[in-house]
Amino acid sequence: MATTPTSPGAARQVLSDSDVARSLTRIAHEILERNHGSDDVVLLGIPTRGVPLAERIAARMAATEGRESLPVGALDITMYRDDLRGQPTRTLGLTTLPGAGIDDKVVVLVDDVLFSGRTIRAALDALNDLGRPRAVQLAVLVDRGHRELPIRADFVGKNLPTARAERVRVQLTETDDVPDAVTIADGAARRAGDAVSSDGAGQDTPGGRVGGAAVETGEEAQR
Ligand X SMILES: O=P(O)(O)OC[C@H]1O[C@H](OP(=O)(O)OP(=O)(O)O)[C@H](O)[C@@H]1O
Nearer to ligand X by Cβ, of 118 and 223: the residue is: 118
Of 218, 223, 206, nearest to 97 (Cα)?
A: 218
200 binds ligand X (CB under 6 A): no
Among ligand URA, ligand X, none, the one that 79 touches (CB under a kind-dependent 5 to 8 A) is: none
Angle at 86 between CA 54 and CA 153, to 5 degrees: 30
Beta carbons of 172 and 15 less than 8 angstroms apart: no
Nearer to ligand X by Cβ, of 43 and 222: the residue is: 43
**Interface with ligand URA by CB under 6 A: which residues?**
113, 115, 144, 167-168
Among ligand URA, ligand X, none, the one that 223 touches (CB under a kind-dependent 5 to 8 A) is: none
Among 28, 31, 113, 139, binds ligand X (CB under 6 A): 113
Residues 6+ apart with CB under 8 A from 89: none
Q: How far is CA 19 from CA 3, 14, 82, 182, 195, in A?
A: 12, 9, 33, 9, 26
Beta-sheet pairing, 213-218 with 208-210 = antiparallel
CB of 112 to ligand X, least distance (A): 5
Among 42, 49, 133, 184, binds ligand X (CB under 6 A): 49
Number of residues that bind ligand X (CB under 6 A): 13
Choices 35-43, 45-53, 197-205, 213-221; region in contact with ligand X by CB under 6 A:
45-53
